[in-house]
C-alpha cells in the first residue's frame, strides 16, 4: 500500500500542475489547431473519410471528439471547449504515463527509486508541457511505455493476458504516433536476447506471448494501412525533406495563383523558414539529439542517468535487491533496446529531414527516467553518508537535495512566459475582435490560425493562401508583425500583398502588459487584377 500511496501523491501533484496550466492557457499549440480540426470532422463526417483525409494518426483527434461534448455541456460550445477537451486528453495520458514508468522502475530497482522516477517524470518541464498541450505526444508516450511494461510481464510469466494487453497498447500507440511501429521490433529483439543468453533461464510460454504481442499490432497497422492507403500518415513529413534554412517546400498545388502573382519573386511558403541550422549527416544528427536529450532532462538528471547506468549494481546493493550482481531485469533490457532502436530511427529521421525538435527525443527522455532516478537516489544517499547524519537527518538531507531541483522545475512550469503562452494573447484578442465585427459570410485568412480558431469564422490558413486569394468572400487578413518585418521573400510577399490590397483596421499587442503591436488585422479588397503589384 505504501507504494500505491506514493504514486497517488505524485499523480495528484501532477494533476494540480496540469490543471493550473490548462487554466492559464489561452490558445492551443499551432500544431494542435490541425488536430482539433480533424477532431471536429470526427463529429460530422464518416470516420473512414476523416482517417483517409488526415495527415495525422487518428486516435488523439478521435478521443478529443469524444471528450468535447461533455466539456461543451459544462462551459458552453466554442473554441475554449475544443481547446480544453484536447488538453484534458493530453493531460490524462500524461498522468497515466506515470503508472508504467513507476512500475518499470520498481521492477528494476525498488519502490523508493520508483517514487523518485515518478516525481522526476511529473516535473520535467518539457514532459509536463506536452501533457497539457493540444498534442498527441503524451498519448503516444503512455501507449509506448504501457506496452513495454506489459510486455515485460508477459515475457517473464508467459501470461497471455499481459501479452494481449501489450499488443493492444502497441496497436493503439501506432494509432496515436507513428514511432510506435518500432515496438514489435523492440519486443522481438528482447525475446531473442533471452533466447541466446545462456545465463537467462527459459521463460514459460514466452513464444506464445511473443506471438500475441506481434500479431495484434500487425492487425491494427494493417487495418490502418488499408483505410489510409499507406503506413505513413504525415504528408508533411513526406514533403518536408526539402525544408530547411537553405531549402524551400515544393509541392503540387491544384489551385494556381492569380495572374500577376505568378512571378517567381513571390514566395507563398506556409511558414517562415527556420533560423536553426539544418542537420547535415549522422554525426551532426547525433550531436543534436544528444543536446536535446541533455536539455530536456534539465542537465542534472542527464548526469544522474549516466551515473545510474554506471553504478547500477551499487544502487541495487544499496537498496538491498536480491541478486544485485545479476544481469539486468527484462524491464531494463526492453528499455535499453527501445532506446537503441528509437535512437537509430531518430538519427535517420533527423539526418534525412534536417530537423529535430524537443518533442522528438521524449521517448529517449522517458526511457532514461529509471536510471536518472537511480543515480539521484545513490547521489542523495552518499550525501547523507558523507555528512555522517543519523537516519532521520539523512532522510531530511535527501529530501532537501531532491526538493531543490523539483521546486525549480515547478517554478519553471508556472512561469508565465513558459506556461501562459502570452505570445498568443494578440491572436486571441484579434479573434474576439473578428467575432464581433465580421459580417455573416465573410472569410478570414489567418497566417497562424489562432484568431480564426477563436472567432470561428470560415476561412483559410496560410497553407491555402492561393485558394484564399481567389475567394470573393475573403474580407480579412490577419498577420503577425514579425512576419511583416521579416527580410525573407515570404515577408516581402506579405508586405506587397497587403500594401496593394489591404487596409489596416486594428492591431493587438502580444500581451496585456506590452502595448507594442504584435498582430495586425487588414481589410482585404480583392483587386480586379494583380498586374500592378510588381511596380
Q: What is the pLDDT of residues 480-517, one digit of tens each?
A: 999 999 988 899 999 999 999 999 999 999 888 888 89
Q: Is residue 326 part of a domain?
A: yes
- Within this chain, do residues 308 and 413 fall inside the same structural domain, yes or no? yes
Percentage of the chain surpassing pLDDT 90?
Answer: 47
Grouping H, G, I as helix, E, B as strand and the rest as coil, residue 475 is strand
Tell whether 139 and 286 lie within a shared domain: yes
Examine the domain organization and report whether 445 and 376 are in the same domain: no
CA distance 480 to 470: 22
Predicted local confidence at residue 389, as pLDDT: 65
Mean pLDDT of the region 403-428: 65
Name the band, by pLDDT with cuts 50, 70 and 90, for residue 403. low
Residue 235 lies in a domain: no
Q: Among 366, 383, 417, which residue terminates a domain?
A: 417
Regarding whether 434 and 341 lie in a shared domain, the answer is no
Residues 81 and 150 in one domain: yes
Task: Work out the average pLDDT over 249-267.
Answer: 68
The Cβ of residue 513 has, within 10 Å, a number of other Cβ atoms equal to 9
Per-residue pLDDT averaged across 238-253, rounded? 39
**354 and 496 assigned to the same domain:** no
Mean pLDDT in residue range 430-453: 93
Q: Which of 393, 417, 441 is at the close of a domain?
A: 417
Please report the pLDDT score of residue 249 as a whole number.
37
What pLDDT does 243 receive?
A: 37
Which segment of 32-46, 93-107, 416-430 scores lowest on mean pLDDT?
Answer: 416-430
Q: Which domain holds residue 526?
A: 422-534
Flag whether pLDDT at 420 surpasses 60: no
* Per-residue pLDDT, 394: 62
Q: Which of 383, 417, 451 is the last residue of a domain?
A: 417
DSSP for 504-527 reads EEEEEEEETTEEEEEEEEEEE---
Instruction: Detail the DSSP E strand segments found in 265-326.
Output: none
* pLDDT number for residue 126: 85
Regarding whether 65 and 192 lie in a shared domain, the answer is yes
Torsion over CA: 7, 325, 368, 176 (sign): negative
pLDDT confidence band for 328 (50 / 70 / 90): low
Domain shared by 386 and 438, yes or no: no
On the CB side of 218, how many CA atoms lie within 13 Å of its CA?
8
Could you tell me the sign of the dihedral formed by the alpha carbons of 505, 507, 512, 515, in that order? negative
- Residue 316's pLDDT is 80
- pLDDT mean across residues, the chain: 84
Q: What is the pLDDT of residue 242?
A: 38
Residue 262 in any domain: the answer is no
Q: Give me the number of domains the chain comprises.
A: 2
- Contact indicator for 307, 375 with CB cutoff of 8 Å: yes
Within a domain: 258? no
DSSP state string for 84-148: HHHHHHHHHHHHHHHHHHHHHHHHHS-HHHHHHHHHHHHH-HHHHHHTSSSSSHHHHHHHHHHHH
Q: According to the model, what pLDDT value does residue 515 have?
A: 85
Same domain for 478 and 352: no
Same domain, 396 and 464: no
Q: Is residue 241 part of a domain?
A: no
CA 502 → CA 33, 49, 103, 377, 490, distances in Å?
A: 26, 37, 59, 62, 17
Residue 324: which pLDDT band, with cuts at 50, 70 and 90?
very low
What is the bridge-based pairing of β-strands 502-511 and 514-524?
antiparallel
Query: In this predicted model, what pLDDT tens digit does every residue of 105-115 receive, in sequence order?
Result: 999 998 889 99
362 in Cβ contact with 300 (< 8 Å)? no
What percentage of the chain carries pLDDT values higher than 70?
A: 83
Q: Is the pLDDT of residue 238 over 60?
A: no
Does one domain contain both 182 and 298? yes
pTM for the predicted model, two decimal places: 0.87
Report yes or no on 272 lying in a domain. no
44 and 186 inside one domain: yes
Q: Which residue has the higher pLDDT, 327 or 192?
A: 192
Q: Classify 338 in phi/psi space as left (phi over 0), alpha (psi -120 to 50) or beta.
A: alpha
Confidence class for position 399, pLDDT limits 50, 70, 90: low
Per-residue pLDDT at 236 exceeds 50? no
- 3-state class percentages of the chain: helix first, strand second, coil last, to nearest 5: 70, 5, 25
Segment among 55-59, 248-252, 357-361, 463-467 with least mean pLDDT: 248-252
265 is a domain residue: no
Tell whether the model's pLDDT for residue 237 goes beyond 50.
no
**CB distance 51 to 127 below 8 Å:** no
Partner residues linked to 244 by β-bridges = 247
In a domain, 271, yes or no: no
pLDDT at 282 exceeding the cut of 60: yes
* 199 — pLDDT class (breaks 50, 70, 90): low
pLDDT at position 404, please?
Answer: 65
Amino acid at each position: 500500500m505504501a507504494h500505491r500511496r506514493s504514486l497517488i501523491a505524485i499523480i495528484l501533484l501532477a494533476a494540480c500542475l496540469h490543471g493550473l496550466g490548462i487554466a492559464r492557457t489561452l490558445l492551443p499549440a499551432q500544431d494542435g489547431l490541425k488536430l482539433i480540426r480533424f477532431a471536429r470532422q470526427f463529429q460530422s463526417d464518416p470516420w473512414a473519410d476523416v482517417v483517409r483525409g488526415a495527415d495525422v494518426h487518428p486516435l488523439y483527434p478521435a478521443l478529443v471528439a469524444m471528450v468535447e461534448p461533455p466539456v461543451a455541456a459544462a462551459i458552453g460550445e466554442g473554441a475554449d471547449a475544443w481547446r480544453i477537451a484536447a488538453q484534458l486528453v493530453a493531460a490524462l495520458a500524461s498522468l497515466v504515463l506515470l503508472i508504467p514508468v513507476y512500475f518499470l522502475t520498481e521492477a528494476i530497482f525498488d519502490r523508493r527509486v520508483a517514487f523518485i522516477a515518478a516525481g522526476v517524470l511529473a516535473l520535467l518541464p518539457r514532459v509536463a508541457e506536452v501533457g497539457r498541450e493540444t498534442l498527441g505526444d503524451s498519448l503516444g508516450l503512455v501507449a509506448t511505455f504501457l506496452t513495454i511494461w506489459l510486455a515485460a510481464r508477459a515475457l517473464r510469466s508467459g501470461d497471455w493476458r499481459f501479452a494481449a494487453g501489450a499488443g493492444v497498447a502497441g496497436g493503439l500507440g501506432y494509432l496515436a504516433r507513428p514511432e510506435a511501429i518500432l515496438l514489435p521490433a523492440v519486443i522481438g529483439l528482447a525475446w531473442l536476447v533471452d533466447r541466446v543468453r545462456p545465463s537467462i533461464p527459459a521463460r514459460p510460454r514466452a513464444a506464445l506471448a511473443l506471438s500475441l504481442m506481434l500479431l495484434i499490432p500487425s492487425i491494427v497497422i494493417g487495418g490502418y494501412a488499408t483505410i489510409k492507403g499507406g503506413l505513413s500518415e504525415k504528408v508533411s513529413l513526406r514533403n518536408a525533406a526539402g525544408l530547411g534554412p537553405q531549402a524551400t517546400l515544393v509541392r503540387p498545388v491544384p489551385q494556381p495563383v492569380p495572374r500577376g502573382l505568378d512571378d517567381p519573386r513571390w514566395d507563398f511558403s506556409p511558414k517562415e523558414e527556420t533560423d536553426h541550422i539544418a542537420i547535415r549527416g549522422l554525426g551532426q544528427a547525433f550531436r543534436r539529439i544528444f543536446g536535446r536529450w541533455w536539455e530536456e532532462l534539465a542537465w542534472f538528471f542527464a548526469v544522474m542517468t549516466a551515473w545510474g547506468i554506471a553504478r547500477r549494481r551499487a544502487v541495487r546493493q544499496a537498496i538491498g535487491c536480491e541478486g544485485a550482481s545479476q544481469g539486468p531485469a527484462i524491464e531494463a533490457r526492453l528499455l535499453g533496446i527501445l532506446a537503441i532502436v528509437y535512437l537509430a530511427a531518430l538519427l535517420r529521421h533527423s539526418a534525412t529531414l534536417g530537423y529535430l525538435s524537443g518533442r522528438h527525443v521524449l521517448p529517449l527522455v522517458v526511457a532514461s527516467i529509471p536510471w536518472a532516478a537511480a543515480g539521484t537516489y545513490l547521489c542523495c544517499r552518499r550525501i547523507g553518508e558523507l555528512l555522517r547524519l543519523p537516519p532521520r537527518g539523512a532522510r531530511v538531507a535527501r529530501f532537501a537535495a531532491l526538493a531543490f531541483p523539483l521546486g525549480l522545475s515547478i517554478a519553471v512550469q508556472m512561469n508565465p512566459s513558459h506556461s501562459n503562452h502570452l505570445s498568443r494573447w494578440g491572436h486571441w484578442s484579434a479573434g474576439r475582435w473578428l467575432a464581433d465585427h465580421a459580417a455573416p459570410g465573410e472569410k478570414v485568412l489567418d497566417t497562424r490560425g489562432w484568431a480564426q480558431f477563436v472567432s470561428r469564422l470560415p476561412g483559410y490558413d496560410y497553407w491555402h493562401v492561393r485558394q484564399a486569394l481567389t475567394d470573393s468572400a475573403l474580407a480579412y487578413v490577419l498577420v503577425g508583425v514579425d512576419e511583416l518585418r521579416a527580410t525573407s521573400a515570404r515577408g516581402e510577399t506579405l508586405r506587397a500583398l497587403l500594401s496593394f490590397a489591404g487596409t489596416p483596421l486594428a492591431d493587438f499587442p502580444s500581451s496585456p502588459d506590452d502595448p507594442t503591436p504584435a498582430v495586425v488585422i487588414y481589410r482585404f479588397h480583392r483587386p480586379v487584377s494583380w498586374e500592378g503589384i510588381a511596380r
